[in-house]
Each structure stands twice: as structure tokens, then as C-alpha cells.
Amino acid sequence: MTRLAGGLIDRSQTLNFTFDGQRYHGHAGDTLASALLANGVRLMGRSFKYHRPRGVLSAGSEEPNALVELRTGARREPNTRATTVELFDGLEARSQNRWPSLGFDALAVNDLLSPFFTAGFYYKTFMWPKAFWEKLYEPVIRRAAGLGRLSMQADPDVYDKGFLHCDLLVIGGGAAGLAAALTAARSGARVILADEDFRLGGRLLSETRTLDGAQASDWISALEAEFESLPNIRVMRRTTVFGVYDHGIYGAVESVSDHLPEVSGRVRQTLWRITAKRAVLAAGATERPIAFADNDRPGIMLAGAMRAYANRWAACPSETVAVFTNNDDGHHTARDLAAKGVQIAAVIDARPEAKARGDYRLIAGGMVTGSRGRLGLKSIEVQANGRSESIECGALGVSGGWNPNVHLFSHHRGRPVWNEPLQAFLPGEDGPVGLIPAGAAAGHFSTADALRSGARAAQRAMDELGIAASLPDLPRAEEADYTVAPVFHVPGKKRAWVDFQNDVTVKDIKLAHAENMRPVEHLKRYTTLGMATDQGKTSNVTGLAVMAELTGRSIPKIGTTIFRPPYTPVTLSVLGGGDTGRHFRPRRLTPTHHWAEAQGAVFVEVGQWMRAQYFPRPGETHWRHSVDREARAVRGAVGLCDVTTLGKIDVQGADAGEFLNRLYCNMMATLKVGRVRYGLMLREDGFAYDDGTCARLAEDHCVVTTTTANAGLVYRNMEFARQCLWPELDVQLISTTDAWAQIAVAGPKSRALLARIVDRFDLSNEAFPFMACTELTVCDGLRARLFRISFSGELAYEIAVPARYGHALIERLMELGADLGATPYGTEALGVLRIEKGHAAGPELNGQATALMVGLGSMVSQKKDSVGAVMSRREGLAGDRRRLVGLRPVDPAGNVVSGSHLFAEGAPRKFDTDQGWTTSACYSPHVGSMIGLGFLENGDERLGEVIVAANPLEGESSRLRVVPAHFVDPEGARLRE
């Protein structure tokens, strides 16, 4: 078939493309489907289950059959609807789900086996022998299933996200949507008009009906020009509003460069989150087929689509076509095609009273009962008035009536309402707040009705927003009635398709009925009706109607399924493509990051932070070499570690002490100015959740530190306590984590090093003892805070300076400390030092431990209330006998593996005999062997006992001796030196 005359394609631009390697050409304005039809290609795909040859069914996004793999390489895009692909020069498409070729598909054998492959057959078989499911049946099923193929390569394209705000969002740019947009735009309101097509006009583009006596495209062009001139309307073509979310938020995808041959360098698609005060749903309607025997052959398509191909794209699948309809709309197709010179073999109208609307053969009261043609339609069987005849035709347009596109209206679980005269579901009363249906989506099927309802919907929206909007002069348009007969399928013995892609036939629905899978959701799930990539746009109502007929109940009694977002499938890349790879989450860098980088540090992810893990030196071939050296440097000389990532919270106000007293389980109100105290926080349920230090810089000023992991949570909880629990206290909070760079200076020579930078400050043990704190200046006037606290068990300090000086400070300390052996250390050595000292950290304070378990039970003050104090006394917490212990291998060369479970020697390895687990382990250069920490049942009473740490996961087990949970300086003398 060659091109018809007319149409909205630009014949001056010829575009070359290939389908399954075959070269074709089309024109600008074509879709892939229209271009293929114009080239005489009817066979475009294969169905999911039976691999039946299929042609295009529709001319829009509801297409279930003509799915192709578009583009090549990493840009391969499976399951792309040929009907929505805008043709571009050099387009490459391939058919999918067939082997070896579209014309000859070996899996079409499934079609011969279809008597066995009925709805839900797989629930009844493949159970014997038991082991065969995973080994044989399922792999075969999985290979046969699926549609297109992913490229298995990362998507190379770029995606964007954006936010838009408007008074009125108009969804759909057909007659109703255009009228709505015009009405609102002229009122001065901020309007967004979005349409999935690349041209405005919707169904108007596919009709020959006139507006004010002229072609509809003239009116559309005038409107486009007006919109162009108005600053308050944004017209978004190629934009699909796919979902309605709470409070007037709509999700939309704009296809920015999918229609261009070369995507590179441009954004491919943009995800828009549109916040609209009101919206008009003018999404139109979708035609539905009538199910009859073998109604799925290439060449059989929706009558409205056939008309659209002829009128808009000047394409027709055959020189001789027939139409099968149960409503007036089918006659428009016959009339328009005849006018284009296509031969109309017959119009079969199921309604006995039907009248011809043109010069063609009408078979009133007729039914199509079958078809012939393996890879394309050759003829149809027609039965009328007790006679049957065969009519030759290469294409058949079928119209079973129109379903308003109510999808978005039910995204908030609103139920559509059945309309008997229209034989269709219309939007009900319970749609999303602020969404007003109009046009065909609201059941206004004539052009004049659609225009009027669109304008009125916009006026109503403007009225609700207090914006004066008058109805524009709308063009004169067709007011034709629409009558439809309730004919959904033609009775017969052969298979009649309802869901084309998933191969659900009337027989399958009958089977579901016989097996009592009658509620609509059972029908859908049992037969897979409506679960294909078109989400049942062309099949759901027909399926319901067949079930209604079988049960003798009305369609509304059967119910309807709820449409879920998205309206049409959305590319994953555009939903999540903005922040992937290294940009998946923000990366927080410490003030000394660049310095550490220059030292060759290896970094590790700690939540959002990047922290130096260790600082390898030349000659160190294993990370352990570096870590051992760093740990020894701290114990023997002085080490420097950036601890900025610990949360820092400034607490100020007259009640600061009392406030912190209520947050920490231990006494904090008595903390004297110039002193620091370790503090443990409980959740209100009594479990320990965070620890840190509290430094009192002034009577009304404390600085609290938290763990890195809980910095946000502790601050949130403190604000909760301040605002919601004790609003009467005079206390103010601010997080200063990012404001101060904090560096731990640890080791016997730390005092000597710090003495070189402080400005006239006495660091002696007498003047500034363990757990002292102060504000001071360093390096000739730089504001700083100094805390004498120790995580390593050595004489140690933490010094804080404004964050922007962090880099300079560490450089200065390294420079001044060179002769003292100053050594930067990372998180690994930090971990070794704290395990050697027996300090609980993340693996111990994991949210499941009590203060008692970590050996801090005595810290929970009984003299005062604090968050979690009451609940920590519950029997289950108070009676928990697991205690934190130190663990050393009996064999000094033996291993300690964290995550091992602990057992008494000789005990069986079962849950009942499980006595705890190792929480942390490391090699201790100080001890000279592996060491660990762990929670052990009655651990505090078992010091010296040998137990077994079992790691069956990795097939190992070792004998460990229970020791106190500090391996270095148990008396704590060093940190007080």
C-alpha cells in the first residue's frame, strides 16, 4: 500500500529507517507505526504467550501489540510502542520476543499447544517431580517469557528533574484540553498544558470534522500562536502526566530528545513534579475492540486508529478494508477512508437498526465470526440474518465503543461509575481533590461537547481559585450523537482475544468463571487480563463485560479494577537517573580531606562522610602494616586524627545543665564549668543508643558530642525534648558539626606537641587535667576549643578550630610535631585503639544493647529521671545477663572473627546454647595477637574461662579466653598522666 493523499506529514522531509534490518522510508510527522503501515508492513510483533503474529492495534499509547526494541547498543530500549515513536532519520527498530525471525517464530508452537496453556494452567501442573521446578520447568518458562531484552549496559543518556507550579494543569491537548487551557490562560492564571503527543490537537488531528467550517488544524494553529504570545501559559508537548499524588502534585515525564537521531549531549527525558492548584483531566477516550474468533490477526485494528492513520498520517494497512462496529463511530471510519479512495468491503454493524452514513455496503445486525490470514488478514467471516459469508479484506477496523480515560482520576482509589447509555465507566465523585474531568474523559464524546466541557471545567477551576474567567467563543463543531450497543464479544467456539498482549481470550474468562475466580481482581490475577504493558487499556472493560454476562450480573455489579500509576510506562532512568553512580548520595568531606588526600590516604565511606582509613607509607604492602604503625605511633609518640565527623551540638541557656541531665542517663547537671564528662543516652524504651562527651564551657553553655552515625538523630531527639517535652526550660540548640574542625591529638607526646601551638596556656596536668576543657586561642590568635579527652586510652586531647582552619591546623601540627614523631592515623587505627581500650562503639551500641550490657549499668542514675530511665528497669532489660568482655585467642596465633557466635566449650552449636557473639575484632600491636570484644552470657563472671567462637558460615571456629574488656592500661593511668 502506498500513501494516501493529505495528512499531517511533511512529504518534503524523507526519513530513512530500518525494521528488522529492512530499509524503509517515511516522512517527518510519521510514527514508526504509521511509517511501517505506509510501507505495507502489517506484521510488527508477536504476542506474549502464544507468539501469535500481530500487527498494530491502535494509534496511540494504549498499543498492546506493536512493541519493538528501539535503537542499538547501550541505548537499546525494549518494549517500545511503535505507535508512540516519532520517526527520525536513521531510526533502527527490531521486533522482539521471537526466534529466529518475526515471520517464522519457533515458539509459535505454543499456539498449537494452546489447548493446554489455558488461564492458570501452571497452577495445576509442574509439581512433579518436586525438584524439577527450579531445575527444568521454571527456567524454560522464564526463557520463553519476557518481552524485549535489556542491553545489560548502563544507560549512557542524561536525565533531568524539575519542579513546576501553576494554577491550572491541563492534562491533554485535544479539543477539551485546548478549550480549558484557552479559558484559563486568557484569565491570566498560570497554566500548564501537557500532552503526550508531539502535536497539539489530540483526536482533532485524526478527524476530518471541521471547526467553524475550516480544518481543525487551522484552529489549533491559531491557538498555538495565541499561547505563544501569552506569558502565563506553558505548553508542554511530548509530556505525559503519569500520576496524581497528594495535594495537587502531578508526576510528568517530558520526552525531550527521544525524537532526535542523536541524543548524546542532550537531556533525553525530564521528570517534572508539577504542583497545581487545580487540574483538568482532558485525557480523551480509548476505543475498545470487540472480541471474535481470531480477532488478533495483523490488519485487524481499532476503527478509530485506522481512521487516524488515514487522516493524520495518510497511511492505510490495505487497499480494501472492512469495519466492524457496534456504534456510530465505526461509520466515520468507513466514510473517511472511502473519501480517501480506500475500498470499503463492508461495514458490519451489530445493531440491526444501523444506517449507512455514506456510500458503502452496510451489513446491519451482523457479526464478524472469524478471520483468515496467517501473517496478515485476508478475509473475514460475517454472519447476519442467519447467513454467513466470507468477505475479502486486508484490514478490518473494529469499534466496540469508547472508554473514557479515567485512569488518573482513580489514582487516589476513586471508583469510576458505569454509564449505561455510553456503555463505559466515567469518573465518579471521589477523584483526587482539585482534578476536574472534561471532554471525552468525562464522557463528552462529540467535539462540540468536548470543547464546551473543557472551557467550563477551566472556568470552574478559576472560580474556585477566585480568578475571574469568561468562557471564550468556541468554534462551531460537530454535535453528533453517539449511540452504542452493548456488544463486547461474538459468541463462538474458537478463541476470541480480549487482552491481546497477554493472550487472554473469552475462553479463559469462561474458565475463570467455571473455577469461581469471579471477583474482578481474581479474574485479572488468574487470567493475567489487563496486566500487560498496556495495563488493560483496551481489554479491561471487555473482560468485565464477558464476566458480567457469564454471571448474569450487570457490569457495575462485577466491579472494576483500580488504575495504578503510571498512566503509561515510565523509563526508570528518568525516575532515578539524576543521582546515581558516585552521586547517589551526597559526599561530606572533612576539613582535612584534601590534606589527607595529598598524604596518599585511603578513604572509607562512613555514612555520608569520607574519612581517612589509613595513611600508607612507601614500602608498606599491606594495610595492616600501615595500621599497626599508626596505632604504635599513638601509644609511643603522638598521632593525629580528624574527628570532625562526630556530631557537635551547642547547648546554651540558663537550663542547659538541667536539660542535659534529662537527656543523658548519667548525672550531667553537676558538671562543673571547665570539665568534660562522658555521657550515655538511652532511647525512651530504655536501650542505649548513643554516647559522647559533654563539655561545660560556661554555666549556660555546654558542647555535646555524638557518634558520627547518630549526629542527626541525637540532634532531632534533643530538639524534640526541648520543644515538645520540656518547652518551659530556657535552652537553645544548634548543630555545629560542620562549623568546627576537630582533631584528636593522642599519645604520650601530645602535650608537648600542643604546647607548641597554644597561645600562653598552661597545659600541665595540674592546670589542665584529664577531662578538662577550655576555650582558648592557638597559633597566635586563632579561636579554638580544647578538650582533654581520650578514646585511645593515652594522654590525649581533641582540639577544635573553625572548620576553615582545619587544613591549616593539621599542617601546622604535622610540621611542629615532626621531631616528636607526629603521625596521622585513620579510622582503622582509631578502631584498634578503642578495641584495645575496650570502648563501646557502633558494633556494641547497635540499638539492641542496654547500658548494663556494655558495662555502663551503674551510669544510669537512680537519683533523677532521664529519657529511658523508667523503661530501662523493665525485667527484660534489667535481667539481661549478657556482658561486654574482652576476648583473646588461646593460641596466640589464633584468630578472632567478629560476627562469630560464642559457646561454652563442648556445647552443641544451636540457638538454645548460643551465649553471645563477637562484636569487634582486630590485630592488636600492643598485645601482639588478635583481640576482640563480645557480648557473653554472664560474661562479667566468666573472666579467665575458655569459650568457643564459632563461625560456621566460613567453616572456622576458635578457642578464646574471656578477659576484661580493656587490653591496655586497665587502671587508666596513662590518660591521667
Partner 1 sequence: MLITHPLLGLRDAQEFTYLGDARLIDRPAPSAPDAEAAFCDYVFLRDNPAGVHRELWYHEHGDRSWLVVTRDTVTHEVLGAELARNVALARTRCSK
Partner 2 sequence: MKFSGFRVFAEALKGHTGWRPLWRNPDPKPSYDYLIVGGGGHGLATAYYLAKTFGRSRIAVLEKGWLGSGNVGRNTTIIRSNYLLAGNEPFYEFSMKLWEGLEQELNFNAMVSQRGIINLFHTDAQRDAFRRRGNAMMLAGAGARLLGREELRAMVPFLNYDNARFPIKGGLMQARAGTARHDGVAWGYARGADSHGVDLIQNCEVTGFRLDRGKVRGVETSRGYIAADKVGVAVAGSSSRVMAMAGMRLPIESHVLQAFVTEGLKPTIPGVITFGAGHFYISQSDKGGLVFGGDIDGYNSYAQRGNLPVVEDVVEGGMALMPMIGRARLLRMWGGVVDMSMDGSPIIDRTQIEGLYLNGGWCYGGFKATPASGYAFAHLLATGASHETARAYRIERFARGHVVDERGAGAQPNLH
Q: Binding residues for partner 1, per CB under 8 A?
A: 245-249, 275, 412, 433, 684-685, 712, 716, 719-720, 723-725, 727-728, 865, 869-871, 873-874
Cα dihedral 763/765/769/772 (nearest 10): 0
Question: Could you tell me the smallest distance in angstroms from the CB atom of residue 689 to partner 1?
Answer: 14
> Residue 878 binds what, of partner 1, partner 2, none (CB under 5 to 8 Å, by partner type)?
partner 2
Eight-class DSSP state of 433: T
> Residue 103 binds what, of partner 1, partner 2, none (CB under 5 to 8 Å, by partner type)?
none
Find the binder of partner 2 among 43, 721, 744, 950 (CB under 8 A): 950
Q: Which is nearer to partner 2, 342 or 517 (CB)?
A: 517
Residue 897 engages partner 2 in binding (rule: CB under 8 A): yes
CB 496 within 8 A of CB 295: yes
Q: Which is nearer to partner 1, 498 or 867 (CB)?
A: 867
CA max distance for the chain:
115
Specify the stretch interacting with partner 2 by CB under 8 A; choose among 28-36, 317-325, 727-735, 896-904: 896-904
Find the binder of partner 2 among 19, 500, 614, 687 (CB under 8 A): 687
Residue 127 engages partner 2 in binding (rule: CB under 8 A): yes
Q: Which is nearer to partner 2, 728 or 905 (CB)?
A: 905
241: β partners: 252
Q: Which residues in 916-935 contact partner 2 (CB under 8 A)?
A: 917, 919-920
Eight-class DSSP state of 338: H
> Residue 869 binds what, of partner 1, partner 2, none (CB under 5 to 8 Å, by partner type)?
partner 1
Distance CA 468, CA 606 (A): 56
Question: Could you tell me the smallest distance in angstroms from the CB atom of residue 495 to partner 2?
Answer: 12
Question: Could you tell me the smallest distance in angstroms from the CB atom of residue 570 to partner 2?
Answer: 5
Q: Which is nearer to partner 1, 685 or 940 (CB)?
A: 685
Find the binder of partner 2 among 581, 619, 906, 944 (CB under 8 A): 581
Question: Could you tell me the smallest distance in angstroms from the CB atom of residue 723 to partner 2?
Answer: 17
Residue 526 engages partner 2 in binding (rule: CB under 8 A): yes
CB 28 within 8 A of CB 86: no
Q: Which residues in 547-576 contact partner 2 (CB under 8 A)?
A: 564-566, 569-573, 575-576
Give the binding-site size for partner 2 (rule: CB under 8 A): 119
Question: Could you tell me the smallest distance in angstroms from the CB atom of residue 782 to partner 2?
Answer: 34
Residue 149 engages partner 2 in binding (rule: CB under 8 A): yes
Q: Which residue, among 761, 764, 805, has the nearest Cα to 783 in the 3D structure?
A: 805
Residue ranges of E strands in 674-729: 676-682, 688-698, 701-706
CB 708 within 8 A of CB 607: yes
> Residue 146 binds what, of partner 2, partner 1, none (CB under 5 to 8 Å, by partner type)?
partner 2
In terms of DSSP bridges, do strands 343-349 and 362-364 run parallel, antiparallel, or are they unpaired? parallel
- Which residues 6+ apart lie within 8 Å of 375 measured at CB? 42, 43, 53, 103, 298
Find the binder of partner 2 among 3, 27, 52, 76 (CB under 8 A): 76
Specify the stretch interacting with partner 2 by CB under 8 A; choose among 254-262, 305-313, 531-539, 633-641: 531-539
Q: Which is nearer to partner 2, 198 or 917 (CB)?
A: 917
Q: Which residues in 219-248 contact partner 2 (CB under 8 A)?
A: 243, 245-246
Distance CA 458, CA 437 (A): 10
Kindly report the number of other CB atoms within 10 A of residue 103's CB atom: 12
Residue 587 engages partner 2 in binding (rule: CB under 8 A): yes
> Residue 611 binds what, of partner 1, partner 2, none (CB under 5 to 8 Å, by partner type)?
none
Q: Which is nearer to partner 1, 338 or 725 (CB)?
A: 725
Q: Which residues in 851-880 contact partner 2 (CB under 8 A)?
A: 871, 874-878
What's at 133, amino acid-wise?
W
Give the angle subtended at the CA of 657 by the CAs of 653 and 662, to the nearest 5°. 115
Specify the stretch interacting with partner 2 by CB under 8 A; choose among 213-221, 282-290, 759-767, 847-855: 847-855
Question: Could you tell me the smallest distance in angstroms from the CB atom of residue 589 to partner 1?
Answer: 20
Q: Which is nearer to partner 1, 198 or 245 (CB)?
A: 245
Find the binder of partner 2 among 262, 819, 954, 971 (CB under 8 A): 954
Residue 537 engages partner 2 in binding (rule: CB under 8 A): no
Question: Could you tell me the smallest distance in angstroms from the CB atom of residue 898 to partner 2?
Answer: 4
Q: Which residue, among 810, 793, 884, 899, has the nearest Cα to 840 in the 3D structure?
A: 884
CB 954 within 8 A of CB 892: no
Q: Which residue, among 409, 410, 824, 377, has the nearest Cα to 617 in the 3D structure?
A: 824
Distances in Å between the alpha carbon of 868 and those of 689, 728, 737, 872? Answer: 10, 20, 25, 6
CB 497 within 8 A of CB 296: yes
Q: Is 228 exposed, middle or buried (0-12, 13-18, 19+ CB in 10 A)?
A: exposed
In terms of DSSP bridges, do strands 638-642 and 740-746 run parallel, antiparallel, or are they unpaired? antiparallel
Find the binder of partner 2 among 460, 683, 864, 961 (CB under 8 A): 683
Instruction: Give the number of residues written for the chain.
Output: 977
Q: Which is nearer to partner 2, 374 or 874 (CB)?
A: 874
Residue 273 engages partner 2 in binding (rule: CB under 8 A): yes
Specify the stretch interacting with partner 2 by CB under 8 A; choose among 203-211, 342-350, 621-629, 677-685: 677-685
Q: Which residues in 405-434 contact partner 2 (CB under 8 A)?
A: 411-413
Eight-class DSSP state of 100: B
Question: Could you tell me the smallest distance in angstroms from the CB atom of residue 679 to partner 2?
Answer: 18
What is the b/e burial string over 389-413, where b = at least 16 CB atoms within 10 angstroms of the residue's CB? eebebbbbbbbbbbbbbbbbbbbee
What's at 388, amino acid-wise?
S
CB 499 within 8 A of CB 532: yes
CA torsion through residues 920, 921, 922, 924, sign: positive
Q: Give the residue carrying C-alpha cell 445486525.
A: 365
CB 361 within 8 A of CB 338: no
Question: Could you tell me the smallest distance in angstroms from the CB atom of residue 630 to partner 2?
Answer: 16
Distance CA 559, CA 955 (A): 57
Question: Could you tell me the smallest distance in angstroms from the CB atom of residue 602 to partner 2?
Answer: 12
Specify the stretch interacting with partner 2 by CB under 8 A; choose among 219-227, 456-464, 509-517, 645-653: 509-517
Find the binder of partner 2 among 433, 848, 890, 891 (CB under 8 A): 848
Eight-class DSSP state of 327: B
Q: Is 302 exposed, middle or buried (0-12, 13-18, 19+ CB in 10 A)?
A: buried
CB 315 within 8 A of CB 286: no
SS3 76: coil
Question: Could you tell me the smallest distance in angstroms from the CB atom of residue 621 to partner 2?
Answer: 20
Question: Could you tell me the smallest distance in angstroms from the CB atom of residue 225 to partner 2?
Answer: 34
Q: Give the residue carrying C-alpha cell 485476508.
A: 378
Contact flags string 763-792 toward partner 2, x per CB under 8 A: ------------------------------
Find the binder of partner 2 among 108, 126, 338, 945 (CB under 8 A): 126
Question: Could you tell me the smallest distance in angstroms from the CB atom of residue 585 to partner 1?
Answer: 15
Distance CA 856, CA 480 (A): 84
Q: Which residue, among 517, 518, 523, has the nearest Cα to 505 in the 3D structure?
A: 523
**Element (DSSP H or E) covering residue 450:** helix 447-464
Specify the stretch interacting with partner 2 by CB under 8 A; choose among 69-77, 191-199, 645-653, 798-806: 69-77
Q: Which is nearer to partner 1, 617 or 716 (CB)?
A: 716
> Residue 592 binds what, of partner 2, partner 1, none (CB under 5 to 8 Å, by partner type)?
none
CB 819 within 8 A of CB 759: no
Specify the stretch interacting with partner 2 by CB under 8 A; choose among 113-121, 415-423, 435-443, 665-673: 113-121
Find the binder of partner 2 among 507, 722, 749, 888 (CB under 8 A): 507
